[in-house]
Structure 1
Amino acid sequence: MNIIRQLALTASFWGLALAAQAADITPLQERWAQIHYQTPAKEQPKAYSLLAEQARQLTRANPESAQAHIWQGIILSSWAGAEGGLGALGKAKEAKAELEQALSLEPEALQGSAYTSLGVLYYQVPGWPIGFGDDDKAGELLQKALALNPEGIDSNYFWADYLIDQKRYAEARIALLKAQAAPPRPGRELADQGRQQEIRALLNTLE
């Protein structure tokens, strides 16, 4: 290979890598937790709409950042859930596209969070002919997430939620106890606190 071309390709590679690293997702994570766990339900759609635009700006500035695409997908999914109804399906489809883009860039980003979030969409969105929901596909994606992050609070919580949806209650309880024992995530204290409340609520439904 021509040495100049080789250097150009190397510079291009490092440029993409630096661009991905430059995507600071911390403000998105913090604001998402505030909306999801502290904002009244009727105010959440508007709050998520503003946060979704912030996420879009981040992904436009960092198109090669899987982390940015993951968080845009998470925010769009949460917005769809807060809005509800068939009108939310467009946002769910947009979230699906963002998460698939993240997987094409870096499947292991954020310990497989794209697999988790995409799996959640597949079991929560209605199936054909209304939407793209598919319980079997959801199970496959959530298992991939667990393989990458077997001790994680989110990977185990959403696996448990899926198992409850499938009426596999004994397995769900095991997964919830594992989620409950997950190590804390530095900088994600509010999200961890809220998720632990959700874990306890699901455990109570299984008693």
Structure 2
Amino acid sequence: MITRSVRQALGMLACIAILTLNSGTVCAAEPKAADKALSADILEIANAWAHIKFEEDDLTLQQKHILALADRAAALMQKYPGRPEPVIWKGVLLSEGASMANEDHSMLTARSLAYQARDTLLEAEKMDPAALDAGAPTSLGVLYYRVPSFPIAFGDTDLARKYLEEAVRYSPNGMDANYFYGDFLYNEKDYAGARRVWQHALTIPVNSSRPVWDKARRQVIQEDLAKLAAKGN
């Protein structure tokens, strides 16, 4: 009869053998631990971003803190090589930095950060377009419809639509995918489409792990729906 301790020892030996034969293979417990650690690190960045974006008032401090957070996301890319999640967040934060620089009338900085964000998000989208509720295609879509078009930058309505439709396809219940797709449709004067997408977004369950972001998104969607109603759409 094989005792529990013997089974454990055999399991460890099997794991060592696998590692010896293939250095790219790890035991089942290790990826789970790594996934848990990555999820915790990503959640920390997501909530830090929400605090900076929605709760800080000083634009100069917001810019400083967002770019510092982008550096933290870049460090996570080194810590978790091959994972799309930190790449997505680096792209999101660079995009946010571009938006804030634009508000501060720092046009050259905004343009540079927008290009860096686009290239980073394209990399993430190739890795896994569904990761983080389709974070890469969602953010690419936002960039393509919000930045100026050529010759100033790379704005492109057709690409914006392509990526945002991809986002809601991969993440039909993603809050950001639906919010920004609705915003795009609104800007394209497809008010019925925007209303339909935003109404669906409000049915998505509350994300209690990201309370500041979740509350802010729902509030903006409700305000946008009220604007549509006031226009008779």
Match of 1:166 among 184, 188, 203: 188
Query: Which deviations, in whole Å up to 9, do the C-alpha atoms of 1:149-199 show, x marking residues without a partner?
Result: 112211111011000111111111111111111112241111100111111
Aligned residue in 1 for 2:15: none
Aligned residue in 2 for 1:29: 46
Query: Which deviations, in whole Å up to 9, do the C-alpha atoms of 1:101-150 show, x marking residues without a partner?
Result: 11222222112111111111110111111111111011011111111111
Query: Matches of residues 116-131 of structure 1 in structure 2 within 5 Å?
Result: 116-131=138-153
Query: Matches of residues 27-176 of structure 1 in structure 2 within 5 Å?
Result: 27-42=44-59, 43-84=61-102, 85=105, 86-87=107-108, 88-176=110-198
Corresponding residue pairs, total: 201
Query: Which amino acid in 2 is paired with 1:161?
Result: D
Give SS of 1:171's match: helix
Cα offset, 1:9, TM superposition? 8.0
Query: Which blocks of at least 5 consecutive residues in structure 2 are unaligned?
Result: 1-17
Separation in 1, partners of 2:144, 2:54: 23
Separation in 1, partners of 2:204, 2:178: 9
Cα offset, 1:29, TM superposition? 0.4
Query: Which amino acid in 2 is paired with 1:180?
Result: L
The answer (yes or no) to whether the contact 2:130–2:171 under 8 Å persists in 1 is no
Separation in 1, partners of 2:173, 2:68: 32
Give SS of 2:71's match: helix
- Specify the structure having the higher radius of gyration (Cα): 2
Aligned residue in 1 for 2:200: 178
Aligned residue in 2 for 1:194: 216
- TM-score, normalisation: structure 2: 0.79
Query: Which deviations, in whole Å up to 9, do the C-alpha atoms of 1:23-77 show, x marking residues without a partner?
Result: 3211110100101110115231122122112112111222311000011111111
Query: Which amino acid in 1 is paired with 2:51?
Result: Q
- TM-score, normalisation: structure 1: 0.88
Match of 1:12 among 24, 30, 36: 24
- Taking only the aligned residue pairs, the percentage that are identical comes to 36
Between 151-160 and 41-50, the greater mean CA deviation after superposition: 41-50
RMSD of equivalent CA atoms: 2.2
Separation in 2, partners of 1:9, 1:201: 58
Query: Which amino acid in 1 is paired with 2:42?
Result: I
Cα offset, 1:7, TM superposition? 6.7
